[in-house]
């Protein structure tokens, strides 16, 4: 695949220009650009440049309100609800985390529910912000239905990711980010747009048969991690991200990939937890992580992510040329 290397600064400026040229408010465009480029930098290509064309198309049809301003409602000292107002998820998450981490410092814990939201990209980016504020971070999100209950063929759950972060006394936080499908559905869409097959075992077609065709996969279902256990976890996420937030359940949510239809009204739910004994927590954290780091053949979750981020900052990010051409066309450049 033909790729072009571009710096993080240039990439953010290009995406922001493409969004603002198509009616997105500057503050939202900045939040979206930062998140898409950060996802691209850590290797989450399904949440990076590949999303830009879809985002702009959805703004043009009104599926996403590019000028929405998220609003906050307090539900007690340690619980907040952010209404994304059918706008992009990123400015809503920025508001939720900024206010939620303040409450966690004062109260020891805080929950942040986000409703009437949109595609939220790589959860790793959001829980890392919580960890860098000194708290343990937990995040779940729902998405359009793509996983069937175990034994069934009709999708009910989204790929419904889960992410976790924990601060470390020295060095970068521990970050764990996983989709409840074997791979994120964005990777299948990326394969479709790139004209490549997907590996066998990622997805099933509409008839419930394994497929390597990304188009058939998108019309079918994603294979869950851990079989029945994966769909049980997807149900847990669905309850937190939809029932707790007042957002659409996955089965009633329009696609993130098309411009037609009503707003997605997706939901995200986050928590910030402050250890009651920070020094004791830090000591035990390092003991636990040291056991993993000292085990031959093992590696901590997030190790490859951090290496990819470091390379992106020193080398730039390698983006398929057709995505960059799309961004330049959208920006008028």
Q: 47-59, pLDDT tens digit by residue?
A: 999 999 999 999 9
Is the pLDDT reported for residue 333 higher than 80? no
At 190, is the pLDDT very low, low, confident or very high (cuts 50, 70, 90)?
Answer: confident
Average pLDDT score over the chain: 95
Whether residue 28 has pLDDT greater than 80: yes
Mean pLDDT value of segment 50-76:
96
**What is the percent of the chain where pLDDT is above 90?**
88
For the residues 305-312, what does the mean pLDDT come to? 97
- Which of 124-128, 145-149, 183-187 is the most confident on average? 124-128
- Contact (Cβ atoms closer than 8 angstroms) between residue 4 and residue 326: no
Ramachandran bin of 325, using left for φ above 0, alpha for ψ from -120 to 50, beta for the remaining angles: alpha
198, 188 contact by CB (below 8 A): yes
Q: What percent of the chain has pLDDT over 70?
A: 100
Q: What is the mean pLDDT of residues 241-269?
A: 97
In this predicted structure, what is the pLDDT of residue 76? 86
Task: Determine the average pLDDT of the residues in 267-296.
Answer: 95
Give the model's confidence band at 82: pLDDT under 50 very low, under 70 low, under 90 confident, else very high. very high
Q: Distance between CA 54 and CA 76 in Å, rounded?
A: 37
pLDDT band with cut points at 50, 70 and 90 for residue 193: confident
* pLDDT, tens digit (0-9, with 9 covering 90-100), for 314-328: 999 999 999 999 999
Q: For residue 296, what pLDDT is reported? A: 95
Greater confidence (195 vs 87) lies with: 87
Over residues 56-78, the mean pLDDT reads 96
- Residue 186: the pLDDT is 79
Nearest alpha-carbon partner for 163 in 177, 173, 175: 177
pLDDT for 187? 86
Average pLDDT over residues 79-108: 97
- How many Å apart are CA 81 and CA 113, to the nearest integer? 5
pTM (predicted TM-score): 0.93
Confidence of residue 194 (pLDDT cuts 50, 70, 90): confident
Q: What is the pLDDT of residue 72?
A: 97
Per-residue pLDDT at 318 = 96
Closest CA to 303 of 272, 97, 311: 311
- Once rounded to an integer, what is the mean pLDDT over residues 92-116? 97
CA angle 243, 244, 245 (to 5 degrees): 95
Query: Per-residue DSSP letters for 54-122?
Result: HHHHHHHHTSS-TT---EEEE-STTEEEEE-TTS-HHHHHHHHHHHHHHHHHHHSEEEEEEEEE-----
Q: What is the pLDDT of residue 161?
A: 95
Confidence of residue 124 (pLDDT cuts 50, 70, 90): very high
In this predicted structure, what is the pLDDT of residue 152?
Answer: 87
Per-residue confidence (pLDDT) for residue 1, from 0 to 100: 67
């Amino acid at each position: 695949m033909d790729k072009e290397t571009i710096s993080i600064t240039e990439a953010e400026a290009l995406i922001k220009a493409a969004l603002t040229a198509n009616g997105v408010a500057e503050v939202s465009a900045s939040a979206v650009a930062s998140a898409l480029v950060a996802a691209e930098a850590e290797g989450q290509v399904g949440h990076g440049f590949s999303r830009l064309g879809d985002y702009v198309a959805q703004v043009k049809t009104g599926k996403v309100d590019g000028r929405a301003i998220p609003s906050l409602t307090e539900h007690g000292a340690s619980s907040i609800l952010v209404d994304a107002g059918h706008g992009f998820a990123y400015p809503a998450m920025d508001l939720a985390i900024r206010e939620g981490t303040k409450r966690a410092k004062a109260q020891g814990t805080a929950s942040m529910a986000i409703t009437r939201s949109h595609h939220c990209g790589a959860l790793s980016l959001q829980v890392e912000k919580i960890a860098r504020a000194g708290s343990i971070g937990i995040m779940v999100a729902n998405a359009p239905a793509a996983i069937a209950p175990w034994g069934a063929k009709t999708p009910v759950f989204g790929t419904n990711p889960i992410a976790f972060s924990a601060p470390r006394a020295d060095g970068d936080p521990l970050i764990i980010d996983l989709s409840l499908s074997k791979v994120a559905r964005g990777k299948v869409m990326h394969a479709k747009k790139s004209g490549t097959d997907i590996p066998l075992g990622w997805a099933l077609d509409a008839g419930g048969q394994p497929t390597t065709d990304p188009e058939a996969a998108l019309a079918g279902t994603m294979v869950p991690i851990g079989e029945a256990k994966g769909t049980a976890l997807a149900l847990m996420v669905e309850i937190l991200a939809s029932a707790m937030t007042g957002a659409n359940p996955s089965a009633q949510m329009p696609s993130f990939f098309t411009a037609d239809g009503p707003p997605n009204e997706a939901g995200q739910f986050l928590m910030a937890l402050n250890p009651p004994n920070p020094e004791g927590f830090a000591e035990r954290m390092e003991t636990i992580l040291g056991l993993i780091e000292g085990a031959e053949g093992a590696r901590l979750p997030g190790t490859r992510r951090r290496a990819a981020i470091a390379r992106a900052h020193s080398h730039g990010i390698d983006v398929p040329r057709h995505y960059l051409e799309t961004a330049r066309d959208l920006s008028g450049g």
